[in-house]
A and B are shown apart, each in its own frame.
Chain A
Amino acid sequence: MEFLFQTILNGLMTSSFYALIAVGLSLVFGVMHIVNFAHGEFYMLGAYTVWILFAKLQWPFFLAVAAAIVLVGLLGLISERLIFRQAHGQVLSGFIMSVGLVFILQVAVVKIWGLGKMKPVPAAFPEILNLGGVSTSWQRFIVIPVTILLLGALWVFLDRFRIGRALRASALNPDAAALQGISPKKCAAVAMLLGSAMAGAAGALMAPIMSVHPYMGHSVVWTAFVVVIVGGPGNIKGSIYAALLFGFLTTVITTWIDSTVADLVNALVMLFLLALRPEGVMGHD
Chain B
Amino acid sequence: MIRRILVYIVDNFRWIGWLMILGAVLIVLPYMVRTYQVEVLILLLIDIILVVSFRLITTTGGWSLAHVPMMGCGAYATALLTAGLGVPFWISLPLSGLAAAVMAFILSYPLARTTGFAFFVASFAAGDSLRLCWTRFKTPFGGHKGLTNIPVPEFFSSVDLSAPIPYYYLALVITALCLLIMFRLDRSRIGHTFKAISMNADLSRSLGINVTFYKMLAFTIGSFFAGVAGVLLAHRLWAVVPAQFGFVTTLYLLVWVVFGGTRTFHGPILGVVVLTFLSELLKPLFEWVPMIFGTIIILTLIFFPEGLEGLGHRFTPWLDRQRFAAGDEPRH
Contacts from A to B (Cβ < 8 Å): 35, 83, 86-87, 91-93, 95-97, 99-104, 106-108, 110-111, 218, 222, 225-226, 229, 233, 258, 260-261, 263-264, 267-268, 270-272, 274-275, 278-280
Contact = CB atoms under 8 A, between A and B. Distances in A.
B11 interface: no
Interface string B175-211: 0000000000000000000000000000000000000
Interface residues of B, number: 40
Interface in B115-173: 115-118, 120-122, 124-126, 128-129, 132-133, 135-136
Given A100-B294, A104-B298, 20 more contacts: A83-B298, A91-B117, A97-B298, A99-B254, A99-B255, A100-B296, A100-B297, A101-B298, A102-B294, A103-B251, A107-B287, A107-B288, A267-B125, A267-B126, A267-B129, A270-B125, A271-B122, A274-B122, A278-B115, A280-B118
Q: Sorted from nearest, which 9 A-B pairs have the closest CB atoms?
A: A103-B294, A275-B110, A107-B291, A100-B294, A103-B290, A100-B297, A100-B298, A104-B294, A267-B125
B121 A92 contact: no
B114 interface: yes
A241 to B, nearest CB: 18
B287 A111 contact: yes
Contacts of A258: 136
A62 to B, nearest CB: 33
Contacts of A97: 297-298, 301-302
B247 A218 contact: yes
Nearest to A266: B125
Contacts of A106: 290-291
A101 B125 contact: no
Nearest to B297: A100
A96 B301 contact: yes
A270 B302 contact: no
B288 to A, nearest CB: 6
A87 B288 contact: no
B114 A96 contact: no
Contact of B126 (A91, A102, A110, A271): A271
Given A97-B301, A264-B136, A274 B251 contact: no
Contact of A101 (B122, B135, B287, B294): B294
A261 B288 contact: no
Question: Which secondary structure dominates where chain A touches chain B?
Answer: helix
A272 B126 CA distance: 10
A104 B135 CA distance: 28
A271 B254 CA distance: 21
A231 to B, nearest CB: 12
A96 B291 contact: no
A233 B114 CA distance: 14
Nearest to A107: B291
Nearest to B294: A103
Given A35-B117, A87-B301, A264-B132, A103 B125 contact: no
A260 B136 contact: yes
B290 A96 contact: no
Nearest to A88: B305
B133 A264 contact: yes
Contacts of B114: 274-275, 278
Contacts of A104: 290-291, 294-295, 298
Contacts of A260: 132, 135-136
B122 A275 contact: yes
B294 to A, nearest CB: 3
Nearest to A99: B251
Contact of A267 (B132, B135, B294): B132
Contacts of A274: 110, 113-114, 118, 121-122, 125
Contacts of A107: 287-288, 290-291, 294
Contacts of A108: 291
A35 B65 CA distance: 14
